[in-house]
Protein backbone atom coordinates (compact mmCIF):
# COMPACT_ATOMS: atom_id res chain seq x y z
CA UNK A 1 0.00 0.00 0.00
CA UNK A 2 1.19 3.54 -0.61
CA UNK A 3 2.99 5.19 2.29
CA UNK A 4 -0.13 7.30 2.59
CA UNK A 5 -2.30 4.32 3.38
CA UNK A 6 -3.54 3.94 6.93
CA UNK A 7 -3.73 0.21 7.27
CA UNK A 8 -0.21 -0.79 6.29
CA UNK A 9 1.90 2.31 6.98
CA UNK A 10 2.87 1.16 10.46
CA UNK A 11 4.47 -2.05 9.22
CA UNK A 12 7.62 -0.31 8.08
CA UNK A 13 7.43 3.27 9.26
CA UNK A 14 5.15 3.45 12.30
CA UNK A 15 7.95 3.28 14.84
CA UNK A 16 9.96 6.01 13.13
CA UNK A 17 6.93 8.28 12.80
CA UNK A 18 6.31 7.90 16.52
CA UNK A 19 9.95 8.79 17.22
CA UNK A 20 9.75 11.90 15.05
CA UNK A 21 6.62 12.96 16.88
CA UNK A 22 8.53 12.52 20.12
CA UNK A 23 11.23 14.86 18.79
CA UNK A 24 8.55 17.31 17.70
CA UNK A 25 7.31 17.48 21.27
CA UNK A 26 10.73 18.78 22.23
CA UNK A 27 10.62 21.79 19.93
CA UNK A 28 10.79 24.99 21.97
CA UNK A 29 7.42 26.47 22.84
CA UNK A 30 6.44 30.09 23.37
CA UNK A 31 7.16 29.92 27.12
CA UNK A 32 10.66 28.67 26.36
CA UNK A 33 11.21 31.57 23.99
CA UNK A 34 9.86 34.01 26.59
CA UNK A 35 12.41 32.64 29.07
CA UNK A 36 15.21 32.90 26.56
CA UNK A 37 14.34 36.51 25.75
CA UNK A 38 14.61 37.38 29.43
CA UNK A 39 18.22 36.27 29.60
CA UNK A 40 20.86 38.85 30.40
CA UNK A 41 23.81 37.14 28.80
CA UNK A 42 24.75 34.01 26.95
CA UNK A 43 25.50 32.09 30.12
CA UNK A 44 21.87 32.52 31.18
CA UNK A 45 20.85 31.41 27.72
CA UNK A 46 22.92 28.27 28.05
CA UNK A 47 21.35 27.53 31.41
CA UNK A 48 17.83 27.96 30.07
CA UNK A 49 18.59 25.78 27.08
CA UNK A 50 19.77 23.02 29.36
CA UNK A 51 16.31 22.81 30.92
CA UNK A 52 14.70 22.19 27.54
CA UNK A 53 15.10 19.18 25.30
CA UNK A 54 18.64 20.30 24.45
CA UNK A 55 19.79 19.15 27.85
CA UNK A 56 23.37 19.30 28.92
CA UNK A 57 24.80 19.60 25.43
CA UNK A 58 26.98 22.59 26.06
CA UNK A 59 28.03 21.71 29.57
CA UNK A 60 31.67 21.15 28.76
CA UNK A 61 32.27 24.39 26.87
CA UNK A 62 34.43 26.94 28.69
CA UNK A 63 32.74 29.99 30.21
CA UNK A 64 32.43 32.76 27.59
CA UNK A 65 30.39 30.85 25.05
CA UNK A 66 29.98 32.26 21.55
CA UNK A 67 26.85 32.36 19.40
CA UNK A 68 28.50 30.28 16.73
CA UNK A 69 29.24 27.54 19.26
CA UNK A 70 25.62 27.47 20.39
CA UNK A 71 24.49 27.17 16.78
CA UNK A 72 26.98 24.39 16.16
CA UNK A 73 25.80 22.35 19.13
CA UNK A 74 22.15 22.76 18.22
CA UNK A 75 22.85 21.73 14.63
CA UNK A 76 24.78 18.73 15.84
CA UNK A 77 21.81 17.62 17.91
CA UNK A 78 19.45 17.87 14.93
CA UNK A 79 21.91 15.94 12.79
CA UNK A 80 22.15 13.18 15.40
CA UNK A 81 18.39 12.89 15.59
CA UNK A 82 18.08 12.80 11.80
CA UNK A 83 20.78 10.16 11.51
CA UNK A 84 19.14 8.05 14.20
CA UNK A 85 16.00 7.97 12.09
CA UNK A 86 17.81 7.49 8.78
CA UNK A 87 19.75 4.45 9.92
CA UNK A 88 16.57 2.67 10.94
CA UNK A 89 14.59 3.51 7.82
CA UNK A 90 13.98 1.16 4.92
CA UNK A 91 12.69 1.89 1.45
CA UNK A 92 10.83 4.01 0.47
CA UNK A 93 11.34 6.07 3.61
CA UNK A 94 15.12 5.80 3.27
CA UNK A 95 14.92 7.25 -0.25
CA UNK A 96 12.71 10.06 1.04
CA UNK A 97 15.17 10.88 3.82
CA UNK A 98 18.04 10.86 1.34
CA UNK A 99 16.17 13.42 -0.74
CA UNK A 100 16.03 15.60 2.37
CA UNK A 101 19.84 15.69 2.53
CA UNK A 102 20.44 16.75 -1.08
CA UNK A 103 19.96 20.52 -0.50
CA UNK A 104 22.72 20.39 2.10
CA UNK A 105 24.91 18.55 -0.37
CA UNK A 106 24.30 21.24 -2.97
CA UNK A 107 25.17 23.97 -0.46
CA UNK A 108 28.34 22.17 0.58
CA UNK A 109 29.35 21.70 -3.03
CA UNK A 110 28.90 25.38 -3.80
CA UNK A 111 30.77 26.32 -0.63
CA UNK A 112 33.72 24.17 -1.64
CA UNK A 113 33.82 25.42 -5.20
CA UNK A 114 33.66 29.06 -4.11
CA UNK A 115 36.34 28.48 -1.54
CA UNK A 116 38.59 26.80 -4.04
CA UNK A 117 38.08 29.62 -6.47
CA UNK A 118 39.30 32.07 -3.84
CA UNK A 119 42.22 29.79 -3.02
CA UNK A 120 41.21 28.71 0.45
CA UNK A 121 42.53 25.54 1.98
CA UNK A 122 40.25 22.61 1.25
CA UNK A 123 40.47 21.03 4.68
CA UNK A 124 39.21 24.08 6.54
CA UNK A 125 36.38 24.35 4.06
CA UNK A 126 35.36 20.76 4.67
CA UNK A 127 35.06 21.60 8.37
CA UNK A 128 32.55 24.32 7.53
CA UNK A 129 30.31 21.99 5.55
CA UNK A 130 26.93 21.02 6.88
CA UNK A 131 27.19 17.50 8.34
CA UNK A 132 23.99 16.30 6.70
CA UNK A 133 25.39 16.95 3.24
CA UNK A 134 28.67 15.13 3.28
CA UNK A 135 29.60 12.98 0.33
CA UNK A 136 32.62 10.87 -0.37
CA UNK A 137 34.67 12.70 -2.93
CA UNK A 138 34.58 16.11 -1.25
CA UNK A 139 38.28 16.61 -0.76
CA UNK A 140 39.10 16.16 -4.43
CA UNK A 141 36.94 19.04 -5.59
CA UNK A 142 39.85 21.45 -5.92
CA UNK A 143 41.03 19.81 -9.13
CA UNK A 144 38.09 20.85 -11.26
CA UNK A 145 38.04 24.10 -13.23
CA UNK A 146 34.93 23.73 -15.39
CA UNK A 147 31.53 22.23 -14.55
CA UNK A 148 32.07 19.49 -17.08
CA UNK A 149 35.26 18.39 -15.40
CA UNK A 150 33.54 18.66 -12.07
CA UNK A 151 30.89 16.28 -13.25
CA UNK A 152 33.06 13.85 -15.10
CA UNK A 153 35.83 13.50 -12.58
CA UNK A 154 34.14 13.86 -9.25
CA UNK A 155 30.42 14.00 -9.08
CA UNK A 156 29.46 11.19 -11.40
CA UNK A 157 29.08 8.80 -8.44
CA UNK A 158 27.22 11.11 -6.11
CA UNK A 159 23.42 11.36 -5.90
CA UNK A 160 23.69 14.85 -7.44
CA UNK A 161 24.87 13.47 -10.78
CA UNK A 162 21.46 13.46 -12.53
CA UNK A 163 21.01 17.13 -11.68
CA UNK A 164 24.05 18.19 -13.70
CA UNK A 165 22.54 17.63 -17.10
CA UNK A 166 21.54 21.21 -17.73
CA UNK A 167 24.88 22.67 -16.82
CA UNK A 168 27.07 21.64 -19.71
CA UNK A 169 26.76 24.99 -21.44
CA UNK A 170 28.68 26.86 -18.75
CA UNK A 171 32.30 27.50 -19.52
CA UNK A 172 34.10 28.41 -16.35
CA UNK A 173 33.52 28.65 -12.67
CA UNK A 174 33.18 32.34 -11.97
CA UNK A 175 31.25 33.75 -9.04
CA UNK A 176 28.15 34.45 -11.10
CA UNK A 177 28.30 31.06 -12.72
CA UNK A 178 28.52 29.42 -9.35
CA UNK A 179 25.24 30.99 -8.29
CA UNK A 180 23.72 29.77 -11.53
CA UNK A 181 25.10 26.30 -10.78
CA UNK A 182 23.55 26.35 -7.32
CA UNK A 183 20.16 27.44 -8.58
CA UNK A 184 20.12 25.02 -11.51
CA UNK A 185 21.01 22.09 -9.27
CA UNK A 186 18.38 23.11 -6.78
CA UNK A 187 15.77 23.46 -9.51
CA UNK A 188 16.52 19.96 -10.81
CA UNK A 189 16.39 18.62 -7.25
CA UNK A 190 13.01 20.22 -6.52
CA UNK A 191 11.45 18.85 -9.67
CA UNK A 192 12.86 15.39 -8.98
CA UNK A 193 11.64 15.41 -5.38
CA UNK A 194 8.20 16.60 -6.52
CA UNK A 195 8.00 13.72 -8.98
CA UNK A 196 9.15 11.24 -6.32
CA UNK A 197 6.51 12.40 -3.85
CA UNK A 198 3.98 11.96 -6.64
CA UNK A 199 4.94 8.32 -6.99
CA UNK A 200 4.55 7.79 -3.25
CA UNK A 201 0.88 8.72 -3.41
CA UNK A 202 -1.68 9.22 -0.67
CA UNK A 203 -1.29 11.81 2.07
CA UNK A 204 2.47 12.04 1.47
CA UNK A 205 1.86 13.30 -2.05
CA UNK A 206 -0.76 15.84 -0.99
CA UNK A 207 1.26 17.35 1.81
CA UNK A 208 4.72 17.23 0.28
CA UNK A 209 3.67 18.53 -3.11
CA UNK A 210 1.97 21.49 -1.50
CA UNK A 211 5.10 22.31 0.48
CA UNK A 212 7.41 21.82 -2.49
CA UNK A 213 5.27 24.00 -4.75
CA UNK A 214 5.47 26.78 -2.21
CA UNK A 215 9.23 26.28 -2.07
CA UNK A 216 9.47 26.55 -5.86
CA UNK A 217 7.42 29.75 -5.95
CA UNK A 218 9.46 31.20 -3.13
CA UNK A 219 12.66 30.52 -5.00
CA UNK A 220 11.28 32.06 -8.17
CA UNK A 221 10.41 35.27 -6.32
CA UNK A 222 13.77 35.31 -4.51
CA UNK A 223 15.75 34.73 -7.69
CA UNK A 224 13.88 37.58 -9.34
CA UNK A 225 14.46 39.93 -6.42
CA UNK A 226 18.12 39.07 -6.19
CA UNK A 227 18.83 39.32 -9.88
CA UNK A 228 17.33 42.77 -10.37
CA UNK A 229 20.23 44.96 -11.39
CA UNK A 230 22.73 42.19 -12.00
CA UNK A 231 24.04 41.01 -15.35
CA UNK A 232 21.85 37.94 -15.59
CA UNK A 233 19.76 38.12 -18.74
CA UNK A 234 16.04 37.45 -18.81
CA UNK A 235 16.47 34.11 -20.53
CA UNK A 236 19.02 32.97 -18.03
CA UNK A 237 16.75 34.04 -15.24
CA UNK A 238 13.78 32.13 -16.54
CA UNK A 239 15.83 28.95 -16.91
CA UNK A 240 16.46 29.08 -13.18
CA UNK A 241 12.77 28.95 -12.19
CA UNK A 242 11.57 25.43 -11.18
CA UNK A 243 8.73 24.24 -13.37
CA UNK A 244 6.37 23.37 -10.49
CA UNK A 245 4.22 25.61 -8.35
CA UNK A 246 1.40 28.08 -8.68
CA UNK A 247 3.59 30.63 -10.42
CA UNK A 248 4.67 28.23 -13.18
CA UNK A 249 3.67 29.33 -16.64
CA UNK A 250 2.13 32.80 -16.61
CA UNK A 251 3.76 33.87 -13.35
CA UNK A 252 7.24 32.92 -14.49
CA UNK A 253 6.85 34.81 -17.74
CA UNK A 254 5.90 37.94 -15.82
CA UNK A 255 8.64 37.49 -13.25
CA UNK A 256 11.26 37.05 -15.96
CA UNK A 257 10.28 40.45 -17.36
CA UNK A 258 10.33 42.23 -13.99
CA UNK A 259 13.08 44.80 -13.60
CA UNK A 260 12.22 46.43 -10.29
CA UNK A 261 10.49 45.61 -7.04
CA UNK A 262 7.20 47.21 -8.03
CA UNK A 263 6.94 45.10 -11.17
CA UNK A 264 7.63 41.96 -9.12
CA UNK A 265 4.69 42.90 -6.95
CA UNK A 266 2.43 43.38 -9.93
CA UNK A 267 3.67 40.11 -11.43
CA UNK A 268 2.44 38.10 -8.46
CA UNK A 269 -0.66 40.22 -7.97
CA UNK A 270 -2.96 37.52 -9.30
CA UNK A 271 -1.84 34.94 -6.75
CA UNK A 272 -3.58 35.50 -3.42
CA UNK A 273 -0.97 33.99 -1.13
CA UNK A 274 2.04 35.80 -2.56
CA UNK A 275 0.18 39.07 -2.89
CA UNK A 276 -0.69 38.93 0.81
CA UNK A 277 2.88 38.03 1.76
CA UNK A 278 4.32 40.92 -0.22
CA UNK A 279 1.62 43.16 1.22
CA UNK A 280 2.65 42.23 4.75
CA UNK A 281 6.24 43.14 3.93
CA UNK A 282 5.15 46.47 2.51
CA UNK A 283 2.99 47.36 5.50
CA UNK A 284 5.50 46.34 8.09
CA UNK A 285 8.90 47.99 7.72
CA UNK A 286 10.53 45.72 10.29
CA UNK A 287 9.71 42.55 8.42
CA UNK A 288 11.55 41.49 5.33
CA UNK A 289 10.46 39.11 2.62
CA UNK A 290 12.56 36.23 3.91
CA UNK A 291 10.78 36.36 7.26
CA UNK A 292 7.36 36.36 5.64
CA UNK A 293 8.30 33.30 3.60
CA UNK A 294 9.71 31.52 6.65
CA UNK A 295 6.50 32.20 8.54
CA UNK A 296 4.42 30.62 5.84
CA UNK A 297 6.76 27.64 5.65
CA UNK A 298 6.43 27.15 9.42
CA UNK A 299 2.65 27.24 9.07
CA UNK A 300 2.71 24.56 6.35
CA UNK A 301 5.04 22.38 8.42
CA UNK A 302 2.83 22.73 11.47
CA UNK A 303 -0.11 21.53 9.39
CA UNK A 304 1.87 18.50 8.25
CA UNK A 305 1.86 17.22 11.81
CA UNK A 306 -1.92 17.26 11.94
CA UNK A 307 -2.18 14.13 9.80
CA UNK A 308 -0.88 10.71 10.61
CA UNK A 309 0.58 7.95 8.40
CA UNK A 310 2.60 9.99 5.92
CA UNK A 311 6.22 11.05 5.34
CA UNK A 312 5.60 14.78 5.51
CA UNK A 313 6.30 14.74 9.25
CA UNK A 314 9.97 13.93 8.62
CA UNK A 315 10.39 16.88 6.26
CA UNK A 316 8.44 19.17 8.56
CA UNK A 317 10.50 18.15 11.59
CA UNK A 318 13.76 19.03 9.82
CA UNK A 319 12.48 22.41 8.64
CA UNK A 320 11.03 23.33 12.03
CA UNK A 321 14.27 22.44 13.77
CA UNK A 322 16.19 24.61 11.31
CA UNK A 323 13.84 27.48 12.07
CA UNK A 324 14.31 26.88 15.78
CA UNK A 325 18.08 27.08 15.41
CA UNK A 326 17.67 30.33 13.45
CA UNK A 327 15.49 31.67 16.26
CA UNK A 328 17.98 30.71 18.96
CA UNK A 329 20.83 32.30 17.01
CA UNK A 330 18.78 35.50 16.54
CA UNK A 331 18.00 35.71 20.26
CA UNK A 332 21.62 34.96 21.17
CA UNK A 333 22.90 37.64 18.82
CA UNK A 334 20.43 40.20 20.16
CA UNK A 335 21.54 39.41 23.71
CA UNK A 336 25.25 39.51 22.97
CA UNK A 337 24.99 42.77 21.03
CA UNK A 338 22.61 44.33 23.53
CA UNK A 339 19.87 45.03 21.00
CA UNK A 340 16.95 44.01 23.16
CA UNK A 341 14.42 46.01 21.13
CA UNK A 342 14.31 43.62 18.25
CA UNK A 343 14.68 40.46 20.22
CA UNK A 344 11.09 39.30 19.69
CA UNK A 345 11.42 39.24 15.92
CA UNK A 346 11.90 35.49 15.92
CA UNK A 347 9.23 33.32 14.28
CA UNK A 348 7.21 31.39 16.87
CA UNK A 349 6.65 27.76 15.98
CA UNK A 350 4.21 26.19 18.40
Partner 1 sequence: WGIFITGRGSHHKSNNGRVNMASVFDSCWFLWFLPVCYEQWWALFASISPYAWATTGIALAIGLSVLGAAWGIFITGSSLVGAAIKAPRIQSKNLISVIFCEAVAIYGVIIAIIMQTKLVYESSPSSSFAGYGLFAAGLVVGLSNLFCGICVGITGSACALSDAQNPTLFVKILIIEIFGSAFGLFGVIVGIIMVGKCSFE
Q: Least separation, in Å, of the C-beta of 317 and partner 1? A: 13
Q: Least separation, in Å, of the C-beta of 36 and partner 1? A: 22
Instruction: Tell whether residue 90 is a contact of partner 1 (CB under 8 A).
Output: no
Query: Using CA atoms, how far apart are residues 323 and 346, in angstroms rounded to an integer?
Result: 9
**Segment near partner 1 (CB under 8 A); pick from 18-26, 38-46, 167-175, 251-259:** 18-26
| Residue from 1, 14, 47, 162 in contact with partner 1 (CB under 8 A) | 14
Q: Least separation, in Å, of the C-beta of 21 and partner 1? A: 5
SS (H, E, C) the chain: CCCCCHHHHHHHHHHHHHHHHHHHHCCCCHHHHHHHHCCCCHHHHHHHHHCCCCCCCCCCCCCCCCHHHHHHHHHHHHHHHHHHHHHHCCCCHHHHHHHHHHHHHHHHHHHHHHHHHCCCCHHHHHHHCCHHHCCCCHHHHHHCCCHHHHHHHHHHHCCCHHHHHHHCCCCCCCHHHHHHHHHHHHHHHHHHHHHHHHHHCHHHHHHHHHHHHHHHHHHHHHHHHHHCCCCCCHHHHHHCCCCCCCCCCHHHHHHHHCCCHHHHHHHCCCCHHHHHHHHHHHHCCCCCHHHHHHHHHHHHHHHHCCCCCCCHHHHHHHHHHHHHHHHHHHHHHHHHCCCHHHCCCCCCCC
Beta carbon nearer to partner 1, 19 or 110:
19
Q: Least separation, in Å, of the C-beta of 6 and partner 1? A: 5
Closest CA to 87 of 75, 76, 97, 73: 97
Instruction: Tell whether residue 18 is a contact of partner 1 (CB under 8 A).
Output: yes
Beta carbon nearer to partner 1, 93 or 258:
93
Q: Least separation, in Å, of the C-beta of 350 and partner 1? A: 10
Q: Which residues contact 309 (CB under 8 A, 6 or more apart)?
A: 3, 4, 5, 6, 9, 10, 17, 202, 203
Beta carbon nearer to partner 1, 14 or 64:
14
Instruction: Tell whether residue 11 is a contact of partner 1 (CB under 8 A).
Output: yes
| Residue from 1, 2, 26, 99 in contact with partner 1 (CB under 8 A) | 26
Using CB under 8 A as the binding rule, the residues of this chain from 263 to 322 that contact partner 1 are 308
Instruction: Tell whether residue 16 is a contact of partner 1 (CB under 8 A).
Output: yes
Q: Least separation, in Å, of the C-beta of 17 and partner 1? A: 7
Q: Least separation, in Å, of the C-beta of 306 and partner 1? A: 11
Instruction: Tell whether residue 51 is a contact of partner 1 (CB under 8 A).
Output: no
Q: Least separation, in Å, of the C-beta of 323 and partner 1? A: 19
| Residue from 3, 4, 17, 346 in contact with partner 1 (CB under 8 A) | 17
- Opening angle at CA 337, ends 336 and 338, nearest 5: 95
Instruction: Tell whether residue 80 is a contact of partner 1 (CB under 8 A).
Output: no
| Residue from 1, 3, 25, 145 in contact with partner 1 (CB under 8 A) | 25
Beta carbon nearer to partner 1, 14 or 249:
14
Instruction: Tell whether residue 15 is a contact of partner 1 (CB under 8 A).
Output: yes
Using CB under 8 A as the binding rule, the residues of this chain from 142 to 161 that contact partner 1 are none
Judged by CB under 8 A, the number of residues near partner 1 is 16
Q: Least separation, in Å, of the C-beta of 240 and partner 1? A: 41
Instruction: Tell whether residue 21 is a contact of partner 1 (CB under 8 A).
Output: yes
Instruction: Tell whether residue 57 is a contact of partner 1 (CB under 8 A).
Output: no
Contact residues for partner 1, defined by CB under 8 A: 6-7, 10-11, 14-19, 21-23, 25-26, 308
Amino acid sequence: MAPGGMAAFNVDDGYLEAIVRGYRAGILSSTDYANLCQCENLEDLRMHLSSTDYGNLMQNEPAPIATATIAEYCTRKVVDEFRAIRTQAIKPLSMFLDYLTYPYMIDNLVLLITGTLHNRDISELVDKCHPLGLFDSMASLCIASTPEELYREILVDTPLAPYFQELVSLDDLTDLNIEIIRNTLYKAYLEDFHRFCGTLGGATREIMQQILEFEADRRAINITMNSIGTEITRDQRSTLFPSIGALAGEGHVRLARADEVASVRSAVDGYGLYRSLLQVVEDNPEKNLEDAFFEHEVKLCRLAFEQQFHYGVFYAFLRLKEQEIRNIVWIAECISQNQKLRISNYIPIF
